[in-house]
Amino acid sequence: MPITFKELTHEYNAGTPFAYLALDAIDLSITEGAITAIIGETGSGKSTLVQHLNALLLPTEGSLTVLDRTITATEKPKQLKELRKRVGLVFQFPEYQLFEETIAQDIAFGPKNFGMSEEEALSKAKEMLQVVGLSEDYLERSPFELSGGQKRRVAIAGILAMDPEVLVLDEPAAGLDPQGAKDMMELFVRLNKELHKTILLVTHDMEHVLNYCDHVVVVDNGHIVQTSDKLHFFQDTSLLHKLRINPPAIIRLRDELNQRGFDLPCDILDTEVLAKAIADEVKHHE
């Protein structure tokens, strides 16, 4: 079933002079089993939105239903442990989630906390390290000796070790080189296709949205201003320009050519298809 927000409001520092309304009575449905991008300007409410999914934040008003569990402002933290096992959240800065002496201990921490034996948890750590593309040679290394990309993989392995059904990733490719970012995004696609994880991806990178995501949710000033599949989202880039977010290169090229007199279909999202459409139009006007 979809993840559903119903009239959900979140206000930071409620009842104080520093009160700030981060989410304002939002209604939203997120498709299960898909990769959904959450986009918007810095400060729009994206991270606040996704932190409700495993109840790191609770609604000030309204409710959220995720995995047959409805969360309200009256929920108590001790009642939310099972949900936090089923919905894994990886922060933008993975070092925030790494604290043990070795990588093996770090990945095994979650499973042990949820009742696995030491032996089972270490076996799971080995398995998940391979899933994220690192060898067993890393198990006894300190997580603080790793590169940024490796830390991110270890953080993801620690979440995957608890076998969540939903994986929430906040700017997971930020700061990575192009190849590292590509490897990371392909990992998320494998987790979605092979392990059937529902993926929610907070990102500013429209190339990643175009190449790897199925659906798009746009957050602006605490409101949901658009939800659509990827195809419809990139047909009209006026909203992206309004939000000062650069469309993908192929979309920019398509739109610029149309502004210069071409008549290219607005549903073109593929380089080869665009090249053929340009060739056909040039040939037509010879």
> What tens digit of pLDDT does each residue of 167-177 get?
999 888 877 78
Average pLDDT (255-274) is: 85
- Confidence at residue 81, expressed as pLDDT on a 0 to 100 scale: 79
Residue pointed to by tokens 């700061």: 175
Cβ atoms of 81 and 129 closer than 8 Å: no
Q: What is the dihedral of CA 178, 194, 201, 273, to 10 degrees?
A: 60
pLDDT tens string 212-246:
999 999 999 999 999 999 989 998 888 888 888 88
Per-residue pLDDT at 286 exceeds 70: no
Query: 139-152 pLDDT, tens per residue?
Result: 999 988 888 888 88
Give the Cα separation of 158 and 17 in Å (integer). Answer: 39
What confidence tier does 91 reach under pLDDT thresholds 50, 70, 90? confident
State the pLDDT at residue 37. 96
Is the predicted pLDDT of residue 57 greater than 80, yes or no?
Answer: yes
Query: Which letter, b or e, does each residue of 16-33 get, where b requires 16 or more Cβ atoms within 10 Å of its Cβ?
Result: eeeeeebbbebebebeee
Instruction: At 264, list the tokens.
Output: 């290219």
Instruction: Give pLDDT tens digits for 27-45.
Output: 999 999 999 999 998 889 9
**261 confidence band (pLDDT: 50, 70, 90):** confident
- What pLDDT is recorded for position 1? 62
For residue 77, is pLDDT > 70? no
Q: What percent of the chain has pLDDT over 70?
A: 98
- Range 96-103 contact pairs with CB under 8 angstroms and sequence separation of 24 or more: 97/155, 97/158, 98/143, 98/144, 98/151, 98/154, 98/155, 98/158, 100/143, 101/142, 102/139, 102/140, 102/141, 102/142, 102/143, 103/129, 103/138, 103/139, 103/140, 103/141, 103/142, 103/143, 103/146, 103/154
Check whether 65 has a pLDDT greater than 90. Answer: yes
